[in-house]
Structure 1
Amino acid sequence: MIRKFRRPVPARAAIAAAVALLVTACSAGTDTARPTGTRAAAVTPAGLDRALPDDPVSMVLPATGAETRWTQGLYVFGQQVNRVVAADCARSGGFALPDEVPLAFIRFFALPDLDFIARHGLSTSAGVPVVASTTVPTTARTGSAAQVRRCRAEGTKAAAALSDLYLPLEQRWFGELGSVDTASATVRARRGLSGCLAGRGVPARDEKTFMAVADARQQTAAPADVTATERDLGRVYATCMRPVEAVREPARLSLRTRFLTEHAAEIRTLRDRLFPALRAAEKRYGVPLAFPRP
């Protein structure tokens, strides 16, 4: 099933442009009729990487699919800090917070990580590390609405102390990425997408309809075929999108070079402050920075 994913961040920290760039992948089953010319892909679990990039620019202003792995980790880290602080607040008050949806690394399909998709499929990723301090005793009573709001607010404040370091700059960057998709070179490259997909058994004219076809096939999936077929579809998507990314990726990198010059003072601040703040938050809250890796 195709679903829209949104990062659970406070309203003041919402990134409308980034949300518009988030295109979801398949999350339920896949069809027993696999794309023509493919074979069942082996199940290859994604791992975790703990190493930061050499430059925080790669994390905050991603220009390639591979760089978005760091962006995904940054988002999850902020959410984990939020939850740890809220859980600590509740624990000190002797009550429990309502259950929440487990955190996940969410892909940016506007900057598709084609190598990762080809290896793991459209939706499968690494598991988010469990942070023990977010748990509360099962015997704890559920907090009142006011208590829950107060603790959630504390979590939001802690996460905002980190997101404020990069969010305004990131928002402007995501707002500029749309120019790459509307460029004539990208439009020309996309014209070959439908023929490539059709030649591999997926009748879709573009990325949006490809996801719709994948979604429809998932609804009739045989449970035993779910994983293999999802990865087959991921390989089809990655193969057919490579000519598009061959145009878009250098265009994004060129755009980022100009962006860095235009926002030089803010970039210097980002480089000076972000990584020390993340490492300090790791120690303070017991939350590990982790990023998906193939």
Structure 2
Amino acid sequence: MPRVDRRPRRSAAVNLPGTALLGAVLALTAACSEAGPASSAPSSAPAAVASAAVAYGLPADLTPMLLPATGPDTRLTQGLDGFASLVRDRATRACLSAAGVRMPDAPPAMFIRLFEIPDLDHISRNGFSPTAVPGAAPSGPAPSDAAGPADSAVQRRCGAEGDAAAGSLHSLYGPLQNRWLTGLAAVEKEAPVVAARQQLPGCLAGRAIRADGEQSFFDQVDRALQTAGTPDAARTEDLRLGAAYAACMQPVEAQREPLRAALRAGFVREHEGELDAARKALPQRVAELERRYSVRFGVPAEG
């Protein structure tokens, strides 16, 4: 299972290089069975990626989905990126199937949470484990044993087809959303946020967790879940650590959320034309991709 992401976020599920798609899929598969590079959620060899409770359909207001500022907003953003990842998966599988090539075992398309904007309510109840986007498995029967291995040319071609399918959606919102998320770094420099962060180690210590900040905390999450002896033990530890993180980060989020809201209001004014174009184009493109690949747009929901 992938590890906790400490990096500025652009979801690997959306931005995999086209010509290396299947290599990346295989790398992700390996990361689920051993300690691989950081990607998005704590790793735990015994645990499996869970199914998510999902609310289907685009929200009425697309602005929070495109420019998230709160934890609940990020569920919409996860849905958008997860849908692009699902489209890539379906397009790649269709290409490989047409070539008579078996799709290698791989993790499903997943909802990838945003490190910059933690969804504390969700984390407090569910921990850090990732959830799969419904519909990620191929809709048709599994390839037969006669399906052959893919050569590099087929991999490149099918990877490019998958990227093109996902890119037809991501191109409508990705550049704008990237600028928004990159700009959130300014919030971290505000004095109230800095002061609230200074209380994090003490709060965690009160819950028997020694960490001098988020980086150190997530390192401990990785270690704890990888060394858990059973799936049940990993799940118990995941929930304990998630509840502690959510409680101790609440003062930080209380300072950051109004700052993000003010920042978003200014961003919307400055990028009104680009934002309006994305809001108009997305529903039609999503509907087109749903029809083409027999998938549905959904966002994580509290179950």
CA contact (8 A) 1:25 1:211 kept: no
SS in 2 for 1:142: coil
CA distance in 2, matches of 1:284, 1:241: 42
Determine if contact 1:3/1:25 at 8 Å carries over to the other structure. Answer: yes
- CA distance 1:211–1:244, change in 2 (3 Å): same
Provide the TM-score with structure 1 as the length reference: 0.84
Q: Structure 1 pair 245/286, CA: closer, same or farther in 2 (3 Å)?
A: same
The answer to whether the aligner puts 1:249 opposite 2:257 as a matched pair is: yes
* 2:268 maps to amino acid: L
Q: Tell me if 1:292 matches 2:300.
A: yes
Residue-by-residue CA offset, 1:172-221 (whole Å, 9 max, x unaligned): 11110110112112101111111111111111121111112223333442
Paired position in structure 1 for 2:42: 26
Is 1:188 aligned with 2:204?
Answer: no
d(CA) in 1 for partners of 2:247, 2:200: 10
Deviation sequence 1:141-200 (CA, Å, 0-9, x none): 123221221122112111111111111111111110110112112101111111111111
- Report how far residue 255 of structure 1 moved: 0.5
TM-score, structure 2 length as denominator?
A: 0.81
Q: 145-154 vs 163-172, which deviates more?
A: 145-154
Preserved contact between residue 29 and residue 227 of structure 1 (Cα < 8 Å): no
Distance between the aligned counterparts of 1:259 and 1:137, measured in 2? 51
CA RMSD in angstroms comes to: 2.5
- 2:163 is matched by which residue type in structure 1? T
- Contact conserved, 2:78 with 2:112, CA < 8 A, in 1? yes
CA drift at 1:65:
1.3
Query: Cα distance, 1:229 vs. partner?
Result: 2.0
Between 1:128-137 and 1:180-189, the stretch displaced more is: 128-137
* Counterpart position of 1:145: 152
* Distance in 2 of aligned mates of 1:57 and 1:231: 31
Counterpart residue number, 2:110: 104
Unaligned ranges ≥5, structure 2: 6-10, 19-37
- Deviation of 1:237 (Å): 0.6
1:92 correspondence with 2:108: no
Counterpart-to-counterpart distance in 1, 2:45 and 2:139: 33
Contact 2:200–2:213 (CA<8 Å) still a contact in 1? yes
Counterpart in the other structure of 1:123: 129
Q: Secondary structure at 2:54's aligned position in 1?
A: strand
CA–CA distance in structure 2, aligned partners of residues 218 and 100 of structure 1: 21
Aligned to 2:25: none
Q: Give the number of equivalent residue pairs.
A: 272
More displaced 10-residue stretch of structure 1: 73-82 or 85-94: 85-94
| TM superposition shift of 1:3 | 4.8
Identity %: 38
The one-letter code of the counterpart of 1:86 is T
Q: Quick check: 1:258 aligned with 2:274?
A: no
Cα contact 2:3–2:39 (8 A) shared by 1:
no
Give how far 1:126 is off.
5.4
Change (3 A) 1:164 1:210: same
User: Quick check: 1:54 aligned with 2:30?
Assistant: no
8 Å Cα contact 2:70-2:119 kept in structure 1 = yes
Cα deviation digits, residues 99-144 of structure 1 (max 9, x gap): 4332221211220000000010122435543343475334211232
Name the structure, 1 or 2, with higher relative contact order (CA <8 Å, separation 6+).
Answer: 1
Residue in 1 that maps onto 2:22: none
Question: Do structure 1's residue 227 and structure 2's residue 235 form an aligned pair?
Answer: yes
2:261 and 2:180 map into 1 onto residues whose CA distance is 12
Question: Are residues 89 and 24 of structure 1, via their aligned partners in 2, closer, same or farther at CA, if it must alter by over 3 Å?
Answer: closer
Change (3 A) 1:111 1:162: same
Counterpart in the other structure of 1:278: 286
SS at match of 1:49: strand
Whole-Å Cα distance in 2 between the matches of residues 242 and 101 of structure 1?
A: 32
Q: SS at the partner of 2:71?
A: coil
